[in-house]
Chains A and B, each alone.
Chain A
């Protein structure tokens, strides 16, 4: 793999036009990755689902170079019609289109040259890989006091041309004071056996609001990893929602740093898995100053041969008095081959805090099924209704009414 990496790395540098400084940075990250390799179960973070093993079981001859010289045709049938929106379209990792047609162009800036060093210090070799091999990165800057009129949807599309490839994507978002962004990540794949590695970095200035919805719904045999690093200043709010269902493997990592007073972070997630799928959400919320708040709710519905894992960590610094932190994870196991793992972790150094977590897992409640069946539903309907209600709880946490309705429709949940 080492040789392949080096060859592919050089190829990428040839076709891209990075500054010398960037190439040096990338080289150092590449060396770091070569040293550590893909993470494995020996690392605490990867204990439940070992990406190293999963990649080697699923993808033979992983290659890291993608030819981006040819434009891909955009299939507009994939677009979400029910919602007017701005678009960024990635096909096989290549940026095909950036469209902010609903917005005031002066208020949004797209910057291609910025410092690509990862300051989150998270010791994650997949981030090292991402920075080393991503072929293009840019930053979207939303100016002071500007709220995007329409949501931004980032389409992550792949077609059958792609196989055994590793795609690395990197986007930075800078939300200036009192600005706001609604961002939907929409995944749709026609390819299989690829590994996608997505790294988003968000900086939220005072009073900024970020809402990020990730929707992985269409069934596919790709492996995905997504890392959101969110830095928050005073009074800012971040809301992250993950619908994790379609890919064979998907790990969402969300790392929030609440650096300003009265900032808050909300993370909600749904795993709806069937047929050999293995998904994970790992969150780290760092409460670093006083009066910050976080809330997390993760629910799983697990079918045949599936495995979901939730690792949630709340860290409360000794300065962060009056912190309010809450975590809840629930799982329904539908089949004897399904498996649920959780590690809800609290690390607390301040005394005037309110932190709690809960976790529950089990099968569907027989009494409830009996109740519904005695009212005339058949077993399948009763089961469906219970799962519907179980998941609806999470969707209801979404604060944007329009997107909430869209998601309900997309996932097929009834009110």
Chain B
């Protein structure tokens, strides 16, 4: 075996597969009112927050788990999960990074995010979420100067109850679908961002999620509010330790853009996808929804999905304000036994609203990929337009690629255009690259990167590099 092959061999194994041994506080197993009260209590939440949770839980009891999605999974026993766990050292909140549990810091170092270093060099404020509770929030000073609030959800509930009360649950109400409602009842922590009127956030805000404690469903809740005329770019990246049993992850992300505001939300998702035989891996059932509430507002989703055993999510935009814009750029890669059912929804309600969907799906091995999207133009959404392009690339005949777009046009002033293609990498392209001295894997990597370029371009610099690497790593071993 030459060094190159060894390298590939190393890369194939999950890079971030390790766990940190920290004693956890756990809520008792199971889902009931007491567990919700326990969560609320341990987080010292005000009464209105508890009421919000209980209301959601009441609703949750009436709901049935949906099963229309393409990838099927074994039944989840919701009574057999822990709904809360936190690193113990969190009880007395640390004041600075030095006070952090050294083991925790080590974990971040392994992941390649030395908080201070990275923060300083890249100008990114890092709000690292270890399991369910935010541990450290850096660069607060710089942000505070601009009046930007960037903190954990629990902190926001304590310190900025007015804002949370005003906006939480306005995009994803407590009466939404099964997983979203479950999240509303039991969410543990997440990020909260508020950009005041007229402020352009001077840096990319970033959160690294990490799933740790075994058998813990992860229920993050993120709320981003961009007030009039403001701008923010938010990055979300995920890595998770190697694990044998499936883990449920049902986060809720709410974005609200007021008049003339813009939110850019980027995700690189690389959770543990299970081993080569499809054993283990994360279930990623996330609800992401953005509301363009004000005039001339804009929300843009960019996602690179390479991990998880099952990815099932549709980051959506509700274009309520006149002249608002929604965008969705996505790369989804599935290999081995991974399954993905992802896409977007663009709901046009306001006049002159525009949306654009670019989706690139690549499936290899025994995997299965579905693009499912909805473009709904309401009868009041005069002069609106949508452009959708979804391309799929297949590698091998054991995998599947599916496209299920729903198009509803109720307005005669509006234009909707949809295009989709499915193909494999053409022999000519491969031949051309190999002729010029690339080996087959490099050639495929190059072609795939070209295929994804439109989406990769949308990512902020820091992410683009990582994402490009991820695209390569995810497809290792699928050629030939």
Q: Taking each of A44, A346, A354, which has the highest tally of chain B beta carbons within 10 Å of its own beta carbon?
A: A346
The A-contacting residues of B in range 409-427, CB under 8 angstroms, are 409-424
- Count of chain A residues with a beta carbon within 8 Å of a chain B beta carbon: 35
Give the docked Cα–Cα distance between A310 and B29 (Å). 48
Give the docked Cα–Cα distance between A333 and B403 (Å). 25
Q: Does A37 contact B (CB under 8 A)?
A: no
Asked if A346 and B402 sit within 8 Å, CB to CB, the answer is yes
Give the docked Cα–Cα distance between A361 and B410 (Å). 10
Asked if B411 and A333 sit within 8 Å, CB to CB, the answer is yes
Name the contact of A356 in the complex, choosing from B397, B398, B405, B419 (C-beta under 8 A): B419
- Contacting residues, chain B, for A97 (C-beta < 8 A): none
A140-148, A241-249, A264-272, A337-345: which lies at the interface: A337-345
Asked if A353 and B403 sit within 8 Å, CB to CB, the answer is no
A390 CB to closest chain B CB, in angstroms?
Answer: 15
Asked if A341 and B400 sit within 8 Å, CB to CB, the answer is no
A31 CB to closest chain B CB, in angstroms?
Answer: 26
Give the docked Cα–Cα distance between A382 and B7 (Å). 67
Q: Does B453 contact A (CB under 8 A)?
A: no
- Contacting residues, chain B, for A362 (C-beta < 8 A): 409, 412, 414-416
The A-contacting residues of B in range 204-224, CB under 8 angstroms, are none
Give the docked Cα–Cα distance between A359 and B412 (Å). 15
Name the contact of B412 in the complex, choosing from A321, A334, A355 (C-beta under 8 A): A334
- Count of chain B residues with a beta carbon within 8 Å of a chain A beta carbon: 34
Determine the residue in chain A with the shortest Cβ distance to B379.
A336
Determine the residue in chain B with the shortest Cβ distance to A340.
B409
Asked if B415 and A360 sit within 8 Å, CB to CB, the answer is yes
Asked if A359 and B417 sit within 8 Å, CB to CB, the answer is yes
Asked if B402 and A359 sit within 8 Å, CB to CB, the answer is no
Give the docked Cα–Cα distance between A277 and B400 (Å). 38
Mask of A80-95 contacts with B, CB within 8 angstroms, 1/0: 0000000000000000
Name the contact of B406 in the complex, choosing from A343, A347, A353, A360 (C-beta under 8 A): A343
Asked if B415 and A355 sit within 8 Å, CB to CB, the answer is no
Determine the residue in chain B with the shortest Cβ distance to A335.
B412
- Contacting residues, chain B, for A79 (C-beta < 8 A): none
B349 CB to closest chain A CB, in angstroms?
Answer: 16
Q: Does A348 contact B (CB under 8 A)?
A: yes
Q: Taking each of B396, B422, B423, which has the highest tally of chain A beta carbons within 10 Å of its own beta carbon?
A: B422
Name the contact of A339 in the complex, choosing from B409, B420, B424 (C-beta under 8 A): B409
Name the contact of A333 in the complex, choosing from B412, B417, B418, B424 (C-beta under 8 A): B412
Asked if B423 and A359 sit within 8 Å, CB to CB, the answer is no
Asked if B402 and A338 sit within 8 Å, CB to CB, the answer is no
- Contacting residues, chain B, for A386 (C-beta < 8 A): none
Determine the residue in chain A with the shortest Cβ distance to B395.
A351
Name the contact of B409 in the complex, choosing from A44, A335, A361 (C-beta under 8 A): A361
Give the docked Cα–Cα distance between A349 and B399 (Å). 6
Name the contact of A348 in the complex, choosing from B394, B405, B407 (C-beta under 8 A): B394
Give the docked Cα–Cα distance between A348 and B394 (Å). 9
The B-contacting residues of A in range 350-379, CB under 8 angstroms, are 350-363
Asked if A346 and B420 sit within 8 Å, CB to CB, the answer is yes
Asked if A355 and B399 sit within 8 Å, CB to CB, the answer is no
Asked if B397 and A349 sit within 8 Å, CB to CB, the answer is yes
Asked if B423 and A338 sit within 8 Å, CB to CB, the answer is no
Give the docked Cα–Cα distance between A348 and B401 (Å). 5
Asked if B418 and A360 sit within 8 Å, CB to CB, the answer is yes
Determine the residue in chain B with the shortest Cβ distance to A352.
B424
Asked if B422 and A356 sit within 8 Å, CB to CB, the answer is yes
Give the docked Cα–Cα distance between A338 and B415 (Å). 13
Q: Does A331 contact B (CB under 8 A)?
A: yes
Asked if B409 and A351 sit within 8 Å, CB to CB, the answer is no
Q: Taking each of B404, B408, B409, B421, which has the highest tally of chain A beta carbons within 10 Å of its own beta carbon?
A: B409
Asked if B420 and A351 sit within 8 Å, CB to CB, the answer is no
Give the docked Cα–Cα distance between A176 and B406 (Å). 39
- Contacting residues, chain B, for A348 (C-beta < 8 A): 392, 394, 400-402, 422
Determine the residue in chain A with the shortest Cβ distance to B421.
A356
Give the docked Cα–Cα distance between A346 and B420 (Å). 9
Q: Does A10 contact B (CB under 8 A)?
A: no
Mask of A160-197 contacts with B, CB within 8 angstroms, 1/0: 00000000000000000000000000000000000000
Asked if A361 and B416 sit within 8 Å, CB to CB, the answer is yes
A319 CB to closest chain B CB, in angstroms?
Answer: 8
Asked if A341 and B409 sit within 8 Å, CB to CB, the answer is yes
Asked if A318 and B402 sit within 8 Å, CB to CB, the answer is no
Chain B residues in the interface with A (C-beta under 8 A): 68, 379, 392, 394-424
Chain A residues in the interface with B (C-beta under 8 A): 44, 318, 321, 331, 333-363
30 A-B interface contacts by CB (under 8 A) = A321-B397, A331-B409, A336-B379, A336-B411, A337-B379, A339-B410, A340-B409, A342-B406, A342-B407, A342-B418, A344-B420, A345-B402, A346-B401, A346-B420, A346-B422, A347-B400, A348-B394, A348-B401, A350-B394, A351-B394, A351-B397, A352-B424, A354-B423, A357-B420, A358-B417, A358-B419, A361-B407, A361-B409, A362-B412, A362-B414
**Which 6 pairs, one residue from A and one from B, show the smallest C-beta to C-beta distance?**
A333-B412, A362-B415, A351-B394, A359-B418, A346-B403, A356-B421
